[in-house]
Structure 1
Amino acid sequence: MRAFFEGIENLFVNFLFAPYDFFRFMESWWAANTINWIFVIIGTVAMVYWLGQLRLFDSRGEEDRSITSHSYL
């Protein structure tokens, strides 16, 4: 099991988080957090899109709102 967890550590530290090592040594806070801001923007756009799709689905009345939807009800 130790090798398994060390493999996970190696994957994240040496590969997936490698771009953060470049930004860690920059002097500008804004430049160092560019990736984080990009992720926040992508997440916000995805959430707005998803909520719009939920609103369309709800307005079409496609959801089964009967009481017998689940056996435990």
Structure 2
Amino acid sequence: MKDFFYAIQDLFVDYLFAPFDALKELELTNWFAANTISWIFLIIGFAAFVYWMKQLKIFNDNNEEDKSISSHSFL
């Protein structure tokens, strides 16, 4: 059973966390490149947020949402 947990440790430490180790090395060598990756993720998240808000506005303008006071019978 001990070997099973060591195998899980090896899987995560040696293989699955390798991109994070590379990012850590990138941050130590080039701070701007490491932050560029963060900014890319922030821009993607902001674009998804704007898209979601536009979709909500479309449904709100079409009055497709049920705005009754009690949404469930137990309320």
TM-score by length of 2: 0.68
Question: Rg larger in 1 or in 2?
Answer: 2
Q: Distance in 2 between matches of 1:53 and 1:5?
A: 42
Task: Number of aligned residue pairs: give it.
Answer: 71
Q: Distance in 1 between matches of 2:61 and 2:55?
A: 10
RMSD over aligned CA atoms reads 2.8
Given the alignment, which residue of 7, 13, 18 partners 2:17? Answer: 13
Given the alignment, which residue of 40, 53, 58 partners 1:38? Answer: 40
Alignment CA distance shift 1:8-1:40 (3 Å): farther
Q: Give deviations 1:11-51, integer Å, cap 9, x for gaps.
A: 5422x424413412324x32221110100000000001101
Alignment CA distance shift 1:24-1:48 (3 Å): same
Runs of 4+ in 1 over 4 A off after TM superposition: none
CA contact (8 A) 2:27 2:33 kept: no
Given the alignment, which residue of 3, 10, 25 partners 2:28? Answer: 25
Gaps of 5+ in 2: none
Gaps of 5+ in 1: none
TM-score by length of 1: 0.69
Deviates more, 1:18-27 or 1:62-71: 18-27
